[in-house]
Structure 1
Amino acid sequence: MTAHWELSGEYAEACNCDVACQCIWLEPADDDGCTAALAWHVTDGQYGDIDLGGRKVAMLIVADEGVMFDPSTQWDVVLVVDEEATDEERAAIEDIYLGRAGGIWAPVADGHFRSTEVVTAPIEFERNGKTTTATVGDDVSMEVVEKAGFNEETGTISPHPLTSSLTMKTAKSTHATVAYDDRYDWDLGGNNAYVCDFELTNA
């Protein structure tokens, strides 16, 4: 039986679309195929009896041309787990983010994941006012800044599937580089980004 899990904390992503990302409206990405780096700082989290608070997770995605969430669109994925995680914590994170434990990642993995690789690395995640930075070893570095509207408040966008509220804050990357291997190698500074205080569960 799948263990109950719930995660909450801070989230940031940077992708290749101009602001704002076309995937939200089920349109093709600006360059047809999506390339994105996602990062989570889990401040509170449980997988059954396993405490995941304090762990950090990242994901690199390269999607086929077309609409990212179209049933025929396949993704290649690298899941990066905080190197400070214990074996038990790492296994729990893999179960959650590779869709084996239900929640939003189950239909995403079943419908879209063509290839998956799991690695560990040091992950740093920091939010300072409207600026969020994340680094993954020497392979990923991104800084995203929230974008304000006419009332000087950060804009929001909905529906975004990776938080229970479905609402993300709009942002723009000042830099967003990935140099993992030839498949995952890009520089997307100045493009779309989202941040939020996220909550996800399989309840």
Structure 2
Amino acid sequence: MTWRISGEYMETCNCDYVCPCIYTHMTAPPTEGDCKVAIAMQIDAGSKDGTDLGGVRFIVMMMSPGPMADGDMVVGLIVDEGASDAQVQAVTEIASGQAGGPMAAMAPLVATFAGVERRPVRFEIDGMSRHVTAGDMVDQTCIAVMGGARPGEPIYLENTAHPANHKLALARNGHSRFDAFGITWDDASGTRNGHFAPFAWKG
């Protein structure tokens, strides 16, 4: 059966702004040597195999020891604790690429799937900022880098190969704290990379 989900996405990572993975198609070394990222998704509408996924929030945690295109990545999944077992299963298949869709292209680069954890995931939108928490595992904020030609809009990167969307708002982290699946990071410098965008996936 086919599936569709849509909603809002945001992320921060440990790379300096702007992350070289985006403009080198994941072939550049991360600015810290390794890449640590929390890709947060809030599903506003959608379903898979008859399971309604509207309202489910999840975070894909990734760590790459070098350029992401080289693979050997560790990936773990955090799903909101309010999701049912059927919803967790559906999200796991989508987020891991097992069900096809945008994340399927990432699957060959993953050496270790570290499992699924349930936490109270919160996804907050406040104008041009995004804030996501997942219990004791993730607390991250990104703030848009504003453009000049159209006041009130961020600068965008377009025609990217990012799985969330081909058009991403540029942002910097307000703070980023990860402690999940052996992936740890803590930074509040405001100099690290972030993105946000709506997303629409299908498989």
| Common topology (TM > 0.5) | yes
Runs of 5+ unmatched residues, structure 2: none
Task: State the shift of 1:77 in Å.
Answer: 1.0
Paired residues for 1:1-203 under 5 Å? 3-26=1-24, 27-65=28-66, 67-68=67-68, 70=69, 72-109=70-107, 111-116=108-113, 117-151=115-149, 152=151, 153-158=153-158, 159-164=160-165, 166-180=166-180, 183-189=182-188, 190=190, 191-202=192-203
Q: What residue identity is the alignment partner of 2:174?
A: T
Q: What residue identity is the alignment partner of 2:109?
A: H
Task: State the shift of 1:188 in Å.
Answer: 3.2
Task: State the shift of 1:25 in Å.
Answer: 2.1
State how far apart, in whole Å, the 2-side matches of 1:161 and 1:186 are.
Answer: 22
Q: What residue identity is the alignment partner of 1:30?
A: T
Q: Give CA deviations for 1:8-40 in whole Å, capped at 9, x if unaligned.
A: 111100001111111112222111211111111
Q: What's the secondary structure of 1:94's corresponding residue?
A: helix
State how far apart, in whole Å, the 2-side matches of 1:48 and 1:20 are.
Answer: 38
Contact 1:126–1:134 (Cα < 8 Å) also in 2 = yes
RMSD of equivalent CA atoms: 1.4
State how far apart, in whole Å, the 2-side matches of 1:146 and 1:178 are.
Answer: 21
Runs of 5+ unmatched residues, structure 1: none
Change over 3 Å in CA distance of 1:118–1:194 after alignment to 2: same
Q: Give CA deviations for 1:115-170 in whole Å, capped at 9, x if unaligned.
A: 11111111000101111100001221011111112334301113042235x11101
Task: State the shift of 1:103 in Å.
Answer: 0.9
What is the aligned-residue identity percentage? 29
Normalising to structure 2: TM-score of the pair? Answer: 0.90
Task: State the shift of 1:64 in Å.
Answer: 1.7
Normalising to structure 1: TM-score of the pair? Answer: 0.90
Number of aligned residues: 194
Contact 2:4–2:47 (Cα < 8 Å) also in 1 = yes
Task: State the shift of 1:174 in Å.
Answer: 0.7
Task: State the shift of 1:75 in Å.
Answer: 0.8
